[in-house]
Amino acid sequence: MTRFAAPIAEQIWDMKYRFKSADGEPIDVTVEDSWRRIARDLARIEAEPAAWEERFYGALEDFKYLPAGRITAGAGTAREVTLFNCFVMGTVPDSMSGIFDMLKEAALTMQQGGGIGYDFSTIRPRGAEVKGVAADASGPLSFMDVWDAMCRTIMSAGSRRGAMMATMRCDHPDIEQFITAKQDAARLRMFNLSVLVTDDFMEAVKADGPWELKFGDKVYHTLQARDLWNKIMRGTYDYAEPGVIFIDRINAMNNLAYCETIAATNPCGEQPLPPYGACLLGSINLARLVSDPFGPKAALDLEALSDLVSVAVRMMDNVVDVSKFPLPQQEAEAQAKRRIGLGVTGLADALLMLGLRYGSDEAAAQTEEWLHQIARASYLASVELAKEKGAFPLFDAEKYLASGSLQHMDEDVRAAIAEHGIRNALLTSIAPTGTISLYAGNVSSGIEPVFAYAYTRKVLQKDGSRTEEEVVDYAVQMWRDLKGDAPLPEYFVNAQTLAPTDHVKMQAAAQKWIDSSISKTINCPEDISFDAFKDVYMQAYETGCKGCTTYRPNDVTGSVLSVSEKSDTAPGEAPAKGAGVTEPGAEVVYMSEPLDRPQSLEGHTYKLKWPDSEHAIYITLNDIVIAGRRRPFEVFINSKNMEHYAWTVALTRMISAVFRRGGDVSFVVEELKAVFDPRGGAWVQGKYIPSMLAAIGGVIERHMVTTGFLEGEGMGLKSDPQAEVVNLDAPRGKACPSCGQYDMRMIEGCMTCASCGYSKCG
């Protein structure tokens, strides 16, 4: 009997988390092997490793506790990867040498698979005087462009791509340019942007008062606070960026306010961190802890929850000691404070099993109660660890207990901390769980509502045949198993049908007991008025949220797939098995495995002569026909120059592997064309090319245009030749760059593919 609740869960495990040899042969034969690998690695530093290995295995078993992807994929593999998910880098110095030292540190961190955050408020504004060189400063945005180019060239561990968060204070002189930077479709594509909003600014907005933009002691400009607020709001209304971080609240509520100041977060915003701060993540799967689901005695087992939390805290604390770190400063910071970020997933499914409508007052109250229980259990577990292994090195009982988030903690917990100390300075966070939620059987993600209760995807097999898979939400599948074809109750709501205020209500209910922050998307209807949209952010501020991320589908951001209202069933009736509620436009064909190579392929060979190079490079591109359309299948890059041998072979293998996976592979061109050579590029046929690799990218692009795969130079696909669209009139978003499915959705502040687990945020 398989442990997987759905085929997609096993596919995610195989693609993302299964330990394999360098040639792709599985080392983890079963998912039990993966659980055992993780449990053994995290228990090896214990005084009684065998006993704790069994406890850890029991927590992992049946997807009850879900360590974040870095841990699940990397623990016990002996690979040079970090098990930490997120980092905020050091404070960027306001000097050229210091800035590029920070760039190097960012590259080293992302190379090991960490998403990073930076505060660019410390760089002097554009036009400011640069003493000693008789020049004006280019400003922080120009250096963000350099970071963006660097990120494009760094592929993180496994299959994840680097992700970055950039923040800027609301009083920085360049804040208006920061707000609109990504409205240029070609700029800062590797960044998420968030404005650091202060309490003073929010009060000035409410009072319609003036607001000074300043750097150091110099005021550069004064404007109305409400005008700046409207500019932030208009940006996110039209472009889904920038996000908003209530930075004063974050610092006021920080357990460590006495020894650190926070000015940035990780890419998805759930971890506000100090310079060189690092955090690891994990989630309790609430959907697995409900007894008598949909029955008269439905309840979440609070005793089992507390026990699972205590084991999870110990496992995560051990990760601090077994993980590698990209930089010594990050290791020192992690060891000094021992931050962990324990969160939840499957919340919406658990509420459904209890008969509660997500967004209702009852659901918000239940959410607060469950997260209170998790906070209690995690803090008490950390106290027990402190008794055994010692408190975190920077623990100061008086100052720690006086911090904001400890003020409303239960008195017995406060007393235990005062007497024994605590092992981990911060313990709770709600992170994006899109991929691990699919891995756990398609449970609802994080604290988000269910996006779609069922949808269908088509998979192209190696022999050319096509199979259909219905992807069903975990709670809906349980309803079907228990109730058959009984109609779904009215409390089954989804992310698109909820009012934005309901989203905010749930985020605020969860935030009270989360000592870090929450990654959540507040879905807004396309026709929401601008004033009502602004009210969402004001509600988030007034109800205690630490930040706010919204998504409003439109022509710029792309249409989010919506649940079809057309079916053969009456409103409220459960769809028949195998039919389901489908998402129009989500039915596409993509390659589950690389296709076998036919005996012969049609292609072209191109000669590339790079200035100052003794030998030409020859690039052969062969194509395959899928669904009547021609698309690139493989590439061969050859040169007589032996200095080029290693990288041309590597490019040949890697690009061909990407081509054979299918989907929108035009990103290969974009990545190659973005590579610059620090020694300088060259002028080729009247055009400046930044590197030989960029020139190769240009050759591949021209081939794609010639064969009709691309609309034109610098443009994406005319249409995905793998896509078999069921409803051509239905709105749909962009194709997933990993699998080609039109199933990208904004979840927990990040564009995520529901079919393959690809995440823009890494």
Q: What is the pLDDT of residues 220-265, one digit of tens each?
A: 999 999 999 999 999 999 999 999 999 999 999 999 999 999 999 9
Over 90: is that where the pLDDT of 323 sits? Answer: yes
Please compute the mean of the pLDDT values over residues 135-156 and round it to a whole number: 84
Treating both helix axes as pointing N-terminal to C-terminal, what angle do 302-322 and 49-60 enclose, rounded to 10 degrees? 120
Closest CA relative to residue 399, chosen from 258, 515, 516: 258
Strand partners for 605:
620
Beta strands 272-273 and 278-279, pairing class:
unpaired
Which pLDDT score, from 0 to 100, does residue 733 have? 57
Quick: pLDDT tens for 70-93.
Answer: 999 999 999 888 899 889 999 999
Asked whether the predicted pLDDT for residue 541 surpasses 90, the reply is: yes
The one-character DSSP state at 595 is: P
Q: Which residues are catalytic?
A: 266, 268, 270
Most confident of 186-195, 420-429, 491-500: 420-429
CATH 3.30.379.10 fits 86-265, yes or no: no
How many Å apart are CA 201 and CA 191, to the nearest integer?
24
pLDDT value of position 161:
54
The pLDDT value given to residue 649: 84
Q: What is the mean pLDDT of the chain?
A: 86
Q: How far apart are CA 473 and CA 471, in angstroms?
A: 7
pLDDT at 458: 63
Q: Which of 385-389, 459-463, 659-663 has the lowest mean pLDDT?
A: 459-463
pLDDT for the residue 159:
38
pLDDT band with cut points at 50, 70 and 90 for residue 720: very low
Distance CA 501, CA 87 (A): 31
Is pLDDT at 158 greater than 50 in this prediction? no
**Predicted TM-score (pTM) of this structure:** 0.79
Q: Say if residue 745's pLDDT is above 80.
A: no
How many C-beta atoms surround the C-beta of residue 164 within 10 A?
25
pLDDT for residue 421 is more than 80: yes
- pLDDT above 70 (res 460): no
pLDDT recorded at residue 311: 98
Concatenating the DSSP letter of every residue in 174-211 gives THHHHHHGGGSTTS-TTEEEEEEE-HHHHHHHHHT-EE
Position 205 pLDDT exceeds 50: yes
- pLDDT exceeds 90 at position 653: no
| pLDDT value of position 588 | 33
With a cut of 90, say whether residue 567 has pLDDT above it: no
Contacts of 498 (CB under 8 A, 6+ apart): 358, 359, 449, 523
**Binning pLDDT at 50, 70 and 90, where does residue 273 land?**
very high
Q: Say if residue 631's pLDDT is above 60.
A: yes
Cα dihedral sign for 478, 482, 486, 488?
negative
| 530-542 vs 500-511: helix crossing angle, rounded to 10 | 10
pLDDT above 70 covers what percent of the chain? 86
Question: Measured between alpha carbons, how far is 526 from 555 in angstroms, rounded to an integer?
Answer: 10
The reported pLDDT for the residue numbered 420 is 98
Distances 241 to 141, 156, 186, 433, 631 between C-alpha atoms, Å: 15, 24, 15, 21, 34
Task: State how beta strands 547-548 and 290-291 pair.
Answer: unpaired
In sequence order, the β-bridge partners of residue 632 are 623
What does the pLDDT average to over 553-563?
A: 62
Q: How many CB atoms are closer than 10 A to CB 731?
A: 14
Residue 501 has pLDDT above 80, yes or no: yes
**CA-closest candidate to residue 564, choices 459, 438, 454:** 454
Better-predicted residue by pLDDT, 346 or 725: 346
Mean pLDDT value across residues 642-671: 82
Residues 6 or more apart whose CB falls under 8 angstroms from that of 30 comprise: 3
Q: How many CA atoms lie within 13 A of 366 on its CB side?
A: 23
How do 210-215 and 191-197 pair as beta strands? unpaired
Q: One-letter amino acid identity for 478?
A: M
Using an 8 Å Cβ cutoff, are 747 and 759 in contact?
no
Q: How confident is the model at residue 592 (pLDDT cuts 50, 70, 90)?
A: very low
pLDDT at 476 over 80: yes
| pLDDT, position 166 | 97
What length does the chain have? 762
Higher pLDDT, 415 or 683: 415
Buried b or exposed e, range 385-409, using 16+ CB within 10 angstroms: bbeebebbebbeeeebbebebbeeb
Q: Where are the chain's structural domains?
A: 86-265, 602-706
CA distances from residue 339 to 77, 278, 314, 643 in whole angstroms, order as listed: 23, 8, 12, 46
Pairing of strands 299-300, 290-291: antiparallel
Q: Does the pLDDT value for residue 48 go beyond 90? A: yes
Residue 564 has pLDDT above 60, yes or no: no
- In this prediction, residue 517 carries a pLDDT of 96
